[in-house]
Amino acid sequence: MRTSVEFITAVAMIAWVGSAVSAESGTHTSGREVGSNPSPGSFVYEGALAFQEDLPVDRVVGTSKYPELLVVKSIRLENTAGHAWSVTASVGWLPAKEITWQMKVELLDGNNQVLKNSGDPVSLFTAIPNDVNETSMRHATLKLSWITCRGRRHATRFRIHLKLLAEPSGGIDSVGGEMDPIEITVLDQESQKPMGDAVVIVGDFTYQDTDLPYQTIQVTNAQGRCQTRLPHKPNILLINAQKQGFSPITWENRPGSNLPERHVFEMRRGMSAGGIVQDSEGHGIASAEVNLQASTSARPGIIFSPETNLQGGMVSVSRCVHTDSEGRWKVEGLPFGVERIYLSIKHPDYGGNNGRKRRISGEALLNAQALNHSRVLAKGLTLTGNVYNDQGRPVERATVMLMQQSHDLIYTLTDESGGFRLMCSKDESDYRGASAVVVEAPDYAPALQPFDPQQNLRPLEFRLERGRTISFRVVNLDEQPIGGAEFSAKPLREHPYYDMRMVDTEKLGIFKVPNMPNNDVRFTIMKRGYVSARNFVAAASEDEVSIHLRRALQVRGKVVDAESGEQIPSFVITFVDSVQSMRLRGGRGDFTNGTYELSYGEAEPETLQLKASAAGYWSAISKEVKNEGSQHVIDFELTRIPGTQRLFRFRGYPD
């Protein structure tokens, strides 16, 4: 029997990335245990914060019977996205008993105060046993939820809370019934031999109708197989396979899509890429930030579709590392045979082309694979200034950001006098779209000044005003609160790329948004199953706003072969604008067992249609449907294209 467990919910995005090794060790020894552990299955650990480095934790937890069930070796925060840091944990576990753990990561400022955000990560994961007599630990990289950067770039320390939630006899609440099991097979792509002891991680974005990440971890048997499941039916599912010496591979189903009964992963051996970052005089630049992205299909030459996705996945690496004292860097785990990678390199003292993403292929890629890729950073323009509050006092550790559309955000922190120094490019072609310098600090509203690299860069002066808090109440048409919604706001009218994001993790239907300026604020609120409220405005005079969300359009049905009447096993359903015949945002699902169920959560257009597509068949369009909160049943009969056969065939699958 599965027992009910109370969970803390939080925003998360689950994905997995390849392993990376920085040439700079970056070892921190200032960590410490915090407080007293209430049980052998928990700890609270605190350490100095750094990015693009493995931060040692080295804490072992377990139960009285199994005192060493889990070890958290380290965590890592990387700047792989502009608005958030990706967080991974290197863990080892003993696959002898089924245990569920909860892990939370917090950021702290220089005064040891927790920098709270409604999207602070709380992640759940369950270790699935494969042998009750197992005595050897297995190791994996777990992707925790993202940590939002906004308002927290001045953090100096991190804190980890780990807690055992369920004893081996316990489990996770069954929400909407258990997920049907999926048989996973992991093969070596080169030899086609089964890969035993490969780590398989199954993750759900939306446990209990929230953005809480929940994962299971287990290993394959000697035949390269395992049977995996979740204790609930997921809305979005990811399956990831990891093995030392191979590139990790991930398969994802779309929201609302049906799940296959089996899935085959073919893993490629990993390789490395690396090089050197130098200045214009040929000297190595230490501590430059190197952001590398690479991805490819698991089976070259196969176009992804609901059918091809049944056997394969994406081999993807997204890592950020620092150069060592000689300017050298290295990333491991890239998929063997990748045809291109993307690099962006930046350093706070060099502004020339700072952060611009470049495609590396051909001879340049060969050089990177030989660890000899070379990049030169030129000195750019120096932007200086000061940040004061409305009383004229300097604001220390305020975040000063150069924001533009063309490349990654560049930022620095003010010193004790409120002064800052920021390097940026002097090439006008580097700046496309609106460019601006934005300052944010706790308790103050963000401030902005336009930036033009062609003008004389006089010192900038910012005067920050105290921010206001706006309360948003999210309700349905009957005035009942809607919990678990997502919120984003654009507080700066002059800059469209600066936003704030929150999640109603307490499921109360209330948002309290701090540090808003005294002007109109444009915002968006979204909730699964409801029509999104986009680009609403909270006036400067409003401190409390009520938002009414109506139910989204719900459609379900089946898709069959027009001649045989048999259900088509793999197909795509897309919402299209009935007037412009365009695919609509968020209106698509991949399905695999002849039936579908899909919702559309946008206010426009007033009427729409559904399009059913499948490999080897002519597409079909439904009748018009009013975009209102109603439920419809729409079935499709698809006609096979003359002269075509099934386009793909997979090992272990019938034609």
Closest by alpha carbon to 348, among 401, 296, 386, 308? Answer: 401
Cβ-based neighbours of 565, under 8 Å, separated by 6 or more: none
Evaluate if residue 297 carries a pLDDT over 90. no
Cβ-based neighbours of 121, under 8 Å, separated by 6 or more: 10, 11, 12, 87, 104, 105, 144, 145, 146, 147, 213
Residue 633: Cβ within 10 Å count: 10
At residue 12 the predicted structure's pLDDT band, cuts being 50, 70 and 90, is very low
The structure tokens listed for 114 are 């927790």
3-state secondary structure of 102: strand
pLDDT at site 581: 66
Q: Which pTM does this prediction carry?
A: 0.75
3-state secondary structure of 174: coil
At residue 108 the predicted structure's pLDDT band, cuts being 50, 70 and 90, is very high
Residue 368: Cβ within 10 Å count: 23
Listed range (183-197, 234-248, 279-293, 640-654) with the worst mean pLDDT: 640-654
Cα separation of 290 and 409, whole Å? 14
Please give the mean pLDDT across all residues of the chain: 81
pLDDT at site 562: 94
Choice between 116 and 412, residue whose per-residue pLDDT is larger: 412
The structure tokens listed for 326 are 């000689």
pLDDT at site 29: 42
The number of C-alpha atoms within 13 Å of 191 and in the hemisphere containing its C-beta is 7
Vertex 185: Cα angle to 184 and 189 (nearest 5): 140
98-124: average pLDDT:
85
Evaluate if residue 327 carries a pLDDT over 60. yes
